[in-house]
């Protein structure tokens, strides 16, 4: 049997309010639910058969920092019992700039959190309003200052392609982010998802949207700007200063396994992918009445696992180290990919370079259109 995972994800489904573009598993205004949630989480953790020390631990959401200080303590306490972090573990928490005060920082520090991912999104007042975010650049600065007290691995999230945003505006946002001297940046093109208010507004036509070329220009601009300054563009949306790649997320992208708890949390354990029920109240109800919270689960075939892994790894800019990959998974890329391997090379969508198969810039830009050919083999 394969080794047990050494990574865990904890989903904390609470936010101050729901942002117009967000379709994550979050509850707003249900503060009383937090206590029940913690109880359920405890219960879910108790059901895991053993104690698993972890190398990476990720508290995501939602906004975990929306919990009170006492609740945060309880959260760490509960989780660490089941997933005790090893000495050099990476412990990340997602935070909303509005929540970061010295008290919160004390708790984070005390519990060994050593990486904070801050939901900045933008520094422009206009764009923040568009995105329905209520903090300002000053809020961010205060949060950064507080976090710096204990954390030397800070990541900022930025969004591009907000309604009416221009390329220069986006460049200014990237510059502004760099001025805060983070170790890591994630940049996400705004997408419209079912079940968000933005989706409805766009359907009604009262949300101006950017065209594809403009979005691409923004995406490319940020890649170029950051690379020029020596940043490592290591995954579609992620950039780091040398040595500060997010270890936890790389577990996902290498197709490795991980634990996960909380509403809507997805785990990959023992070749099985499972997702918990997305509704926080259903999650609580099920767990507390002793029923599993799993809503979907699938066990992948060997070949599905392989193909999925290829896609995920190609989304990392380093690409696939061919020889290593082939021996590790006992396969031949040329066989798995068939004529697609050459066809995509010929069309300039991917290339083989230094023993790695990796996407070209063009391939990256349209990569979603490539994956169907990788996941379903040529006939």
Partner 1 sequence: MTAMELKYIRNFCIIAHIDHGKSTLADRLLEFTGTVDKRQMKEQVLDDMELERARGITIKARSVAMKYTYKGQEYELNLIDTPGHVDFHYEVSRSFSCCEGALLLVDAFQGVEAQTVANAYAAMEHDLLIVPVINKIDLLHARPDEVLVEMEQSLAIDPADVVRASAKSGIGIEELLSAVIERIPPPTGDVDAPLQAMIFDSHYDSFRGAITYVRMMTGQVRLGQKIRMLRSNKTYEVVELGQFVPQRKPCTVLHAGQVGYLICNIKSLDEVHIGETVGDIREGVSTPLPGYQQPKRMVYCGLYPSDGQDFDELRDALNKLSINDPSFEFQPESSEALGFGFRCGFLGLLHMEIVQQRLEQESDIDLVQTAPNVTYEVLTRSGETIDIHRPQEVPDAGDIEEFRQPIVKVNLVLPTEYIGAAMKLCQDRRGSLTKTEYLSPTRAMLSYHLPLAEVIYDLHDKLKSVTRGFGTMDYEVIGYEPADLVRLDMLVNGNKVDALAIICDRRDADRRGRAVVKKLKAEIERHMFEIAVQAAIGSRVIARETVPAMRKNVTAKCYGGDITRKRKLWAKQREGKKRMKSIGQVDIPQKAFMAVLETGETK
Return residues touching ligand SF4 (CB under 6 A). 15, 18-19, 22, 24, 26, 61-63, 96, 119
Interface with partner 1, residue 216, by CB under 8 A: yes
The binder of 215, among ligand SF4, partner 1, none, by C-beta within 5 to 8 A per type, is partner 1
The binder of 302, among ligand SF4, partner 1, none, by C-beta within 5 to 8 A per type, is none
34 vs 364 by CB, closer to partner 1 = 364
Q: What is the CA radius of gyration of the chain?
A: 21
Length of the chain: 379
- Give backbone dihedrals phi and psi of 234, rounded to 5 degrees, phi first: -105, -15
Residue 15 C-beta: closest distance to ligand SF4, Å: 3
Residue 170 half-sphere exposure, CB side, CA atoms within 13 Å?
28
Residues 89 and 55: their CA atoms lie apart, in Å, by 4
* Stretch binding partner 1 (CB under 8 A), from 41-49, 70-78, 165-173, 344-352: 344-352
Quick one: which of 59, 123, 198, 253 contacts partner 1 (CB under 8 A)? 253
The binder of 201, among ligand SF4, partner 1, none, by C-beta within 5 to 8 A per type, is none
Q: Are 234 and 241 in contact (CB under 8 A)?
A: no
- 76, 150, 197, 326, 339 from 144: Cα distances, Å: 22, 11, 30, 43, 50
Residues 234 and 313: their CA atoms lie apart, in Å, by 11
Interface with partner 1, residue 48, by CB under 8 A: no
In terms of Cβ atoms closer than 10 Å to its own Cβ (0-12, 13-18, 19+), residue 305 is: middle
Interface with partner 1, residue 369, by CB under 8 A: yes
Interface with partner 1, residue 188, by CB under 8 A: yes
Residue 150 C-beta: closest distance to partner 1, Å: 25
Assign 201 to helix, strand or coil: helix
Interface with partner 1, residue 379, by CB under 8 A: yes
The binder of 343, among partner 1, ligand SF4, none, by C-beta within 5 to 8 A per type, is partner 1
Residues 183 and 64: their CA atoms lie apart, in Å, by 21
Interface with partner 1, residue 330, by CB under 8 A: no
Interface with partner 1, residue 170, by CB under 8 A: no
Six token digits for residue 177: 């982010």
Quick one: which of 271, 275, 295, 360 contacts partner 1 (CB under 8 A)? 275
Assign 10 to helix, strand or coil: strand
Comparing C-alpha atoms, which of 363, 322, 217, 356 is closest to residue 371?
363
Q: How many helices, marked H, and strands, marked E, lie in the chain?
A: 16, 17
Residue 18 C-beta: closest distance to ligand SF4, Å: 5
96 vs 139 by CB, closer to partner 1 = 96
DSSP one-letter code for 195: T
Residue whose entry in the numeric block shows the structure tokens 């991917």: 350
Q: Which residues bind partner 1 (CB under 8 A)?
A: 9, 11, 60, 188-189, 191, 212-213, 215-216, 219, 236-237, 249, 252-253, 258, 260, 264-268, 273, 275, 296, 298, 308, 311-312, 315, 340, 343-344, 347, 349, 364-373, 375-376, 378-379
């Amino acid at each position: 049997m394969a080794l047990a995972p050494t990574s865990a994800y904890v989903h904390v489904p609470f936010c101050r309010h729901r942002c117009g573009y967000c379709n994550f598993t979050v509850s707003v205004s249900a503060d009383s639910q937090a206590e029940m949630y913690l109880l359920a989480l405890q219960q879910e953790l108790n059901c895991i058969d053993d104690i698993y020390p972890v190398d990476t631990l990720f508290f995501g959401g939602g906004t975990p920092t929306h919990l009170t200080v006492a609740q945060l303590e309880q959260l760490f306490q509960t989780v660490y019992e089941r997933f005790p972090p090893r000495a050099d573990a990476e412990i990340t928490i997602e935070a909303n700039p509005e929540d970061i005060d010295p008290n919160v920082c004390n708790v984070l520090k005390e519990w060994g959190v050593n990486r904070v991912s801050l939901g900045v999104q933008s520094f422009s007042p206009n764009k923040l309003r568009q995105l329905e975010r209520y903090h300002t650049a000053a809020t961010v600065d205060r949060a950064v200052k507080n976090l710096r007290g204990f954390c030397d691995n800070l990541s900022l999230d930025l969004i591009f392609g907000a309604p009416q945003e221009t390329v220069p505006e986006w460049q200014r946002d990237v510059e502004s982010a760099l001025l805060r001297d983070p170790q890591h940046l994630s940049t996400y093109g705004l997408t419209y998802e079912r079940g968000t208010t933005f989706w409805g507004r766009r359907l009604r036509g009262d949300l101006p949207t950017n065209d594809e070329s403009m979005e691409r220009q923004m995406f490319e601009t940020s890649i170029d700007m950051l690379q020029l300054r020596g940043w490592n563009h290591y995954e579609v949306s992620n950039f780091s200063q040398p040595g500060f790649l997010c270890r936890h997320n790389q577990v996902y992208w290498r197709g490795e396994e991980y634990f996960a708890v909380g509403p809507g949390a997805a785990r990959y354990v023992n070749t099985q992918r499972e997702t918990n029920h997305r509704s926080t109240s259903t999650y609580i109800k099920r767990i507390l009445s002793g029923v599993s919270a799993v809503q979907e689960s699938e066990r992948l075939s060997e070949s599905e696992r392989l193909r999925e892994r290829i896609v995920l790894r190609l989304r990392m800019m380093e690409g696939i180290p061919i020889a290593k990959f082939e021996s590790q998974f006992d396969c031949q890329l040329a066989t798995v990919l068939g004529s697609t391997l050459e066809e995509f090379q010929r069309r300039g969508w991917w290339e083989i370079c230094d023993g790695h198969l990796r996407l070209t810039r063009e391939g990256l830009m349209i990569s979603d259109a490539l994956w169907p050919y990788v996941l379903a083999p040529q006939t």
